[in-house]
Amino acid sequence: MKMQGLFLVAIFCISYTQLVKGQTLRGCPTTCGNVSLEYPFGTSPGCYYAEDDSFKITCNKKDELLIGDRKVIKISHSGELRVWVDISYACYDTKGTLSYGIYHSYKLTNLSLSTNNKFTLVGCNAYALLSTFGMRNYSTGCLSLCNSQPAANAECNGEGCCRTDVSVPLDNYEFKTSPARLGNMTNVHHFNPCTYAFLAENGTFDFDALEDLKNMRNVTAFPVVFDWSVGDKTCTQVGNTSVCGGNSKCFNSTRGTGYNCKCFEGFEGNPYLSDGCQDINECTTSNTIYRHNCSAPSTCENEPGHFICNCPSGHRKNSSSSCEPKDMLQYFGWTRIFLGTTLGFLVILLAVSCVQQKMKHMKNTELRQQFFEQNGGGMLIQQLSGAGPSNVDVKIFTEEGMKEATNGYEESRILGQGGQGTVYKGILPDNSIVAIKKSRLGDSSQVEQFINEVLVLSQINHRNVVKLLGCCLETEVPLLVYEFISSGTLFDHLHGSLFDSSLTWEHRLRIAVEIAGTLAYLHSSASIPIIHRDVKTANILLDENLTAKVADFGASRLIPMDKEQLTTMVQGTLGYLDPEYYNTGLLNEKSDVYSFGVVLMELLSGQKALCFERPQNSKHLVSYFASATKENRLHEIIDGQVMNESNQREIYEAARIAVECTRVTGEERPKMKEVASELEAVRVTKTKHQWSDQYPEESEHLLSVGILSAQGETSSTGYDSIKNVAILDIEAGR
């Protein structure tokens, strides 16, 4: 593995430095250094597409082709542009103080980041962000953790190195890469003082722990692919006025704006020039892709865009277009040849068809069995057989049924995408609507996560948990079938643009009570205690009545009855991750309590759990919320849509609960059952106050008999009933 990553970059560079003259307008330069120039790009007036100055590029005195200040590697007719993009890095001393570093920011003109790139972080106990700035701000990134020096053959899977796909909104043209360190540097500084973040084209970087963690082998830039297109109209809109030349056709750009051109089948060249696409002579070309398949070169006849195969000398074509000796045709006559050929063809076709059908059936059966085992079918059956009778409702769906339900996994059916896979909207034969999760698996650990989600959900039967209906293991990647929740996620309602952020305080308080009750049920009342491990607003779904549904149990863990905590690899989401769990790796129910506290803060403030636009000390909502509470300025961060004179007491009580849930030490946090009871008490107390305001005479009567005393004393039908309601809601598994 040593030096393999640098070797790949070197091979990539050599492959593009072969001097091939480009196709440009007559009288214009065809090369700049080792890079060929291709129209509609050009370096001088009259040499590039005149209606768009973004196609003007520069050839400097060093014979380097530049677009802006970036060096161009290759221009492709298909709408791709490869350039060198520098690495961002940050280096720290042994105290964890930033010593030096460079964060690179780029502004693109009429270019978009291609999905053929990966965003990569190299470093220990660090994270990196790729942030875009445009009509829609967007951020993505990944987290890398190290307990010790990674092995020399370690892969880029989260230990010393992590990477993520690039899926940037198409209306963003400016982006920035930035790495940052997490935690103390003392344990890792001797082998990794720096953190590196960069974009690279797929296949151009292969992680080498021995070399890359130290200095990235002195590589300062990587090839990055950008998409380009002509104009901002579709092919239909431009019609015959497109820049596409002869023997070419227009196709809409994958960027979502503008169009590109390509030569017809059987032609090659620059489709943006009037005569750029030239016929390929399949009879003489040495290119195996386009070369003819005739019996001999002498029988090949070139035609514009294609070729035909003639019969050799002494032969002629019969009615089935095959070549037969002329004497044989004369001897047997056309009728006998036709009948014999037809009969023989039918016999052969029947025999071949029978063999193919049998082989296809055997192959499909074998493939389905292979996928079944590959997707953990044996493990699932073994676990389900001993998990109890509750699993009889988990239905096994067929591959054909899933294809029909999703209309062949049509893109318009996609409900959402994430680290665990893609979720489609499905319609079953009985017209019931379901959500079908197509897992994204790459190794055995992810197979275990899939099996884990099936097992966890099979143990849960609760009205506020998304119900698992069944699964399909016959496909290349396994599928999970859930009940369909129609109104998106809590994150969408609080921060997204798909829904109007109009959740009232009553809605938010009820949602908080439902989430807390569900988590308390998972911790205390399920047949086997369950820790969710990834509680966040993006994993809380809302139905048409805005009822909360807890989802995404891919990271959850079943806790044996004889244990209170487990030691696991740290997993979760930045902003919601329990700091004690992060530092120790010890997982217990208080980790969910911390994450719920962050969710409750989001409900109260309407702000995201982690926001890099806030001041340095307030990027994390927990610290922002805690400091505001300590300084008696909580009203500054409470969402203005929910705060009023009548509910301040309830909001401040909920804020107190949120702060207690997010205390640094798990022992100081309340249990989830206690949190649910306190929130239910707030909710019921609020209902009483509203009832009292609406019926003052009845309220005075109740006060006179002592049920609603100012000292908070209760009778058998007063505050005790509140507790009973709270407990009933927590343990409401069906």
What's the pLDDT band for 374 if we cut at 50, 70, 90?
Answer: confident
Closest by CA to 111, choosing from 57, 163, 179, 33, is 57
Mean pLDDT is lowest, of 123-127, 533-537, 611-615, 625-629, for 611-615
The pLDDT, as a whole number, for residue 731 is: 38
Residues facing 84 on adjacent strands: 223
The pLDDT, as a whole number, for residue 446 is: 64
Amino acid in position 676: A
Report the largest interatomic distance among the alpha carbons of the chain, rounded to a whole angstrom.
Answer: 122
Residues shown for the chain: 734
Q: What is the mean pLDDT of the chain?
A: 80
Indicate left, alpha or beta for 3 from its phi (over 0: left) and psi (-120 to 50: alpha). Answer: left
What's the pLDDT band for 568 if we cut at 50, 70, 90?
Answer: low
**Interval 384-397: pLDDT, tens:** 666 554 444 677 78
The pLDDT, as a whole number, for residue 438 is: 84
Asked if residue 673 lies in contact with residue 524, where contact means CB atoms within 8 angstroms, the answer is yes
Closest by CA to 194, choosing from 216, 210, 170, 162, is 216
Percent of the chain with pLDDT over 90: 33
Mean pLDDT is lowest, of 365-374, 686-695, 711-720, for 711-720
What's the pLDDT band for 556 if we cut at 50, 70, 90?
Answer: low
- Pairing state between β 395-396 and 468-472: parallel
**Interval 276-294: pLDDT, tens:** 999 999 898 888 787 888 8
What's the pLDDT band for 535 if we cut at 50, 70, 90?
Answer: very high
Residue 501 scores a pLDDT above 80: no
Asked if residue 272 lies in contact with residue 289, where contact means CB atoms within 8 angstroms, the answer is no
The pLDDT, as a whole number, for residue 391 is: 45
Asked if residue 458 lies in contact with residue 467, where contact means CB atoms within 8 angstroms, the answer is no
Residue 249 scores a pLDDT above 90: yes
Closest by CA to 40, choosing from 315, 356, 259, is 259
More confident residue, 380 or 264: 264
Residue 146 scores a pLDDT above 60: yes
pLDDT mean over 406-430: 86
3-state secondary structure 353-415: HHHHHHHHHHHHHHHHHHHHHHCCHHHHHHHHHCCCHHHHHCEECCHHHHHHHCCCCCHHHEE
500 given a catalytic annotation: no
Active-site residue among 534, 552, 592, 639? 534
For residues 644 and 60, what is the distance between their CA atoms, to the nearest angstrom? 64
Residue 160, token pair as written in the block = 């010393």
Residue 707 scores a pLDDT above 60: no
pLDDT mean over 689-693: 51
Residue 97 scores a pLDDT above 60: yes
Residue 513, token pair as written in the block = 């009570």
Closest by CA to 245, choosing from 270, 220, 218, is 270
The pLDDT, as a whole number, for residue 442 is: 55
Per-domain residue ranges for the chain? 1-228, 377-483, 490-730
Report the top-level CATH class of 377-483. Answer: alpha beta
pLDDT mean over 321-340: 69
Residue 35 scores a pLDDT above 90: yes
Mean pLDDT is lowest, of 70-74, 192-196, 518-522, for 192-196
Residue 552, token pair as written in the block = 């995404």
pLDDT mean over 207-212: 86
**Interval 653-667: pLDDT, tens:** 999 999 999 999 989
Residue 6 scores a pLDDT above 50: no
Predicted TM-score of the model (pTM): 0.47
410 C-beta neighbours (distance < 10 Å), count = 10
Regarding the domain with residue range 490-730, which homologous superfamily does it belong to in the CATH classification? Answer: Transferase(Phosphotransferase) domain 1 (1.10.510.10)
**Interval 342-354: pLDDT, tens:** 888 899 999 998 9
- Burial profile 263-282: b = 16 or more Cβ within 10 angstroms, e = fewer: bbebbbbbbbbeebbebbeb
449-452 long-range contacts (CB < 8 A, ≥24 apart) are 449/420, 449/554, 449/555, 450/375, 450/376, 450/478, 450/480, 450/554, 451/376, 451/379, 451/380, 451/383, 452/553, 452/554, 452/556, 452/557
Residue 678, token pair as written in the block = 């306190």
